[in-house]
């Protein structure tokens, strides 16, 4: 094999930022690093790309091997290449991100690396520049969720407006005015009001809604401004 003889070699890695909704709040999937440096400390799911792999292929392999999650669609987020980002040697990492409904994945998490779902806004300190990676992924998620109805995909077949608001508040780490949030969401015309109510969480009860799939599919890429102004 020919090589560029005058060029310096460096390691190539991937890191997976997996956000998951458990029915109540958004969470972040973390593992405990299995080797030095920082062995036992909390980390994103990551590893090194092998010579025969693409970055995308390595991300899928590593996520499955370290957590047990398989078949998850991930999007490339950013390349992190600061010279001193890894304390051992020069390593460039491509970060990938995904947003999933945790309850759709029945297989238990792999316990070899203590994979754990942490609340998105209350997780432990992470190794290297992984906090920066998570921060950028959260910023991108909030931007997308403000303009497009992607968070609706995480909800069950029928849900209440308070449940939807709880999800948005988890993503944005803030509290929305109930009336303002309800008006903004209902103004999109993406939801269909049902006749039955959820009476477990309040005496009055809250009506259930479902997604209008035809309108949802037609408007997914339309800028909707879903987050109430001033939030």
Co-location of 139 and 152 in the same domain: no
CATH number for the domain harbouring residue 51: 3.90.79.10
Assess if residue 87 is contained within a domain. Answer: yes
Last residue in a domain, options 108, 127, 145: 145
pTM of the predicted model, to two decimals?
0.92
Which of 114, 145, 176 is where one domain is finished?
145
The pairing of beta strand 45-48 with beta strand 11-21: antiparallel
Domain that holds residue 52: 11-145
pLDDT score, position 202: 67
Q: Both 25 and 138 in a single domain?
A: yes
Counted domains in the chain: 2
Q: Report the pLDDT value the prediction gives residue 198, as an integer from 0 to 100.
A: 87
Looking at 112, 128, 145, the residue that finishes a domain is 145
What's the pLDDT at 219? 80
Indicate the DSSP class of residue 109: P
pLDDT at 84: 95
Domain check: are 116 and 199 in the same one? no
User: DSSP for 156-209?
Assistant: -SSEEHHHHHHHHHHHHTS---HHHHHHHHHTTT-EEEEEEEE-SS-SS-EEEE
pLDDT at 108: 86
In a domain, 224, yes or no: no
Same domain for 33 and 71? yes
| CA distances for 199 relative to 202, 204, 209, 230, angstroms | 6, 7, 14, 31
What pLDDT tens digit does each residue of the chain (231 aa) get? 688 888 998 999 999 999 999 988 999 999 999 999 999 999 999 999 999 999 999 999 999 999 999 999 999 999 999 999 999 999 999 999 999 999 998 888 988 899 999 999 999 999 999 999 999 999 999 999 998 899 999 999 999 999 999 999 999 999 999 999 999 999 989 999 999 998 776 677 899 999 999 999 888 877 777 786 554
Residues 50 and 140 in one domain: yes
CATH number reported for the structural domain that contains residue 154 in this entry: 1.10.10.10
Residues 99 and 51 in one domain: yes
Residues 66 and 50 in one domain: yes
């Amino acid at each position: 094999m020919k090589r560029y003889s005058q060029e310096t070699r460096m390691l190539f890695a991937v890191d997976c930022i997996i956000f998951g909704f458990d029915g109540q709040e958004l969470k972040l999937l973390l593992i405990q690093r299995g080797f030095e440096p920082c062995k036992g400390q909390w980390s994103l799911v990551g590893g090194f790309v092998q010579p025969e792999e693409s970055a995308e292929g390595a991300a899928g392999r590593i996520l499955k091997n370290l957590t047990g999650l398989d078949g998850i669609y991930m999007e490339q987020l950013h390349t992190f290449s600061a010279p001193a980002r890894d304390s051992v040697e020069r390593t460039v990492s491509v970060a990938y991100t995904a947003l999933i409904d945790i309850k759709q994945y029945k297989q238990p998490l792999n316990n070899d690396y203590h994979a754990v779902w942490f609340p998105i806004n209350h997780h432990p300190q992470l190794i290297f520049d992984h906090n920066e990676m998570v921060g950028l992924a959260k910023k991108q998620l909030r931007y997308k969720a403000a303009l497009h109805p992607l968070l609706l995909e995480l909800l069950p077949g029928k849900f209440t407006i308070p449940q939807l608001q709880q999800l948005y508040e988890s993503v944005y780490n803030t509290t929305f005015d109930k009336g303002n949030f309800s008006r903004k969401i209902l103004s999109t015309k993406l939801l269909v009001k049902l006749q039955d109510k959820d009476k477990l969480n309040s005496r009055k009860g809250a009506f259930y809604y479902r997604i209008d799939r035809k309108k949802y599919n037609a408007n997914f890429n339309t800028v909707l401004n879903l987050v109430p102004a001033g939030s």
